[in-house]
Amino acid sequence: MRPFRGKTARPDFCKRKENLMASVFTKIINGEIPGNFVWQDEQCVVFATIEPRSDGHMLVVPREEVDNYLDADPDLIAHLSQVAQIIGQAGRDAFNVSRALIVVAGFDVPHLHIHVIPTDSMQVLNPDAKAAGVADGIKASCEKLRSALVEMGYSANVPASLESLG
């Protein structure tokens, strides 16, 4: 393992078939840990982050455990990007903002995910800026996004329940 910023990099568990420890995102997808879902399809799901930087901050997560964006199949990346764009459009409409910030980081959870953050400013990325009250409205934000997705014609991809996939 090579160090990153003074820390030892995590082993690449997700790429190995013999991985016995599911990522926290897989546990959310499987219903073992609660989640707030706005989208589902055969390849990915979208749910709210527990640390939102703005109203409507979502994570686009593949069902397959892939650790690193750079190691993912190009077709999967294309699909995740398409879904991220749809979620961004819904966020723009639902929260009356001009843009959606897209971030692929993956340092906290060894499972590929794309942050979609509705915003009018890059300030949401400032670690010193606090999104006051945003975490209190996660469920309300999800319901707004779900409604926007239905209005956009994606009702087949909106899970019947906010808190589980069906």
pTM for the whole structure:
0.84
Residue ranges in the chain modelled with pLDDT below 70: 1-21, 129-136
23-39 tens-digit pLDDT? 999 999 999 999 999 99
Query: d(Cα 39, Cα 22) in Å, to the nearest integer?
Result: 21
| Active-site hit among 57, 111, 113, 115 | 113
| DSSP-based three-state secondary structure for 37 | strand
Query: d(Cα 66, Cα 72) in Å, to the nearest integer?
Result: 6
Model pLDDT, residue 22: 82
Asked if 79 is an active-site residue, the reply is: no
Q: Could you give all domains of the chain from N- to C-terminal order, each with its CATH number?
A: 24-157 (3.30.428.10)
Instruction: Look up residue 62 and give its two tokens.
Output: 């593949």
Model pLDDT, residue 6: 45
58-77 tens-digit pLDDT? 999 999 999 999 999 999 99
For residues 102 and 91, the answer to whether their CB atoms sit within 8 Å is no
For residues 36 and 138, the answer to whether their CB atoms sit within 8 Å is yes
For residues 76 and 62, the answer to whether their CB atoms sit within 8 Å is yes
